[in-house]
């Protein structure tokens, strides 16, 4: 599969931008992991300062999907660390986008997976298992639904209702 850049997707699909079927997330995310360009169908999760459901998802087979976590933009603790990212890499996830913080940055940067997050933070999250799976979320100023497509590279992150063509 050839890697598609976000700029190419935007340039070849102006009608999808006008219709709202193709949206860009606000440029608020830091780039982590060795895979700077990644894409795939979205799996959504809402989890505020709790990492139990994130860990559960990443233990499943990823099949090239991208986990998008609405962590409420919290900068008070990390909801994703190195061990679950290693598991995600080994289970075939294409990437993880976190509207919140991560930790174990050096370990994550050694993984062949794409990770985007607001920042890093040394404190770990709660483990209560609170959150909602497969629900519409708002991340980076954009509404994201389960099953939509995410495209990420060094220029930014796009969400498309369907798999984009270039």
pLDDT tens, residue by residue, 131-142: 999 999 999 999
95 is known to lie in a ligand binding site: no
103 is known to lie in a ligand binding site: yes
- Domain 4-158, CATH class in plain words: alpha beta
pLDDT of residue 102: 98
Q: What is the 3-state secondary structure (H, E, C) of 69-85?
A: EECCCCCCCEEECHHHH
- Is the model's pLDDT at 2 over the cut of 70? no
Burial zone of 145 (CB within 10 Å; 0-12 exposed, 13-18 middle, 19+ buried): middle
70 is known to lie in a ligand binding site: no
* pTM (whole model) above 0.85: yes
pLDDT of residue 65: 98
Domain map (residue ranges) of the chain: 4-158
Could you tell me the two tokens for 86? 């290693």
65 is known to lie in a ligand binding site: no
Q: What is the pLDDT of residues 38-65, one digit of tens each?
A: 999 999 999 999 999 999 999 999 999 9
> How far apart are alpha carbons 84 and 27 in whole angstroms?
25
51 is known to lie in a ligand binding site: no
| Mean pLDDT along residues 59-86 | 98
147 is known to lie in a ligand binding site: no
- Is the model's pLDDT at 166 over the cut of 80? no
């Amino acid at each position: 599969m050839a890697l598609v850049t976000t700029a190419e997707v935007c340039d070849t699909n102006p009608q999808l931008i006008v219709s709202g079927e193709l949206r860009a997330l606000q440029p608020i995310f830091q780039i982590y992991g060795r895979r700077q360009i990644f894409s795939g169908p979205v799996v959504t999760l809402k989890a505020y300062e709790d990492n139990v459901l994130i860990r559960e998802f990443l233990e499943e087979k990823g099949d090239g999907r991208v986990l998008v976590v609405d962590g409420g933009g919290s900068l008070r603790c990390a909801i994703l660390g190195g061990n679950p990212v290693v598991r995600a890499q080994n289970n075939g996830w294409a990437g993880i986008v976190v509207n919140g913080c991560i930790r174990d940055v050096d370990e994550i940067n050694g993984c062949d997976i794409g990770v985007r997050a607001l920042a890093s933070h040394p404190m770990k999250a709660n483990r209560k298992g609170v959150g909602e799976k497969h629900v519409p979320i708002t991340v980076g100023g954009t509404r994201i639904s389960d099953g939509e497509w995410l495209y990420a590279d060094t220029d930014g992150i796009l969400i498309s209702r369907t798999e984009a063509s270039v």
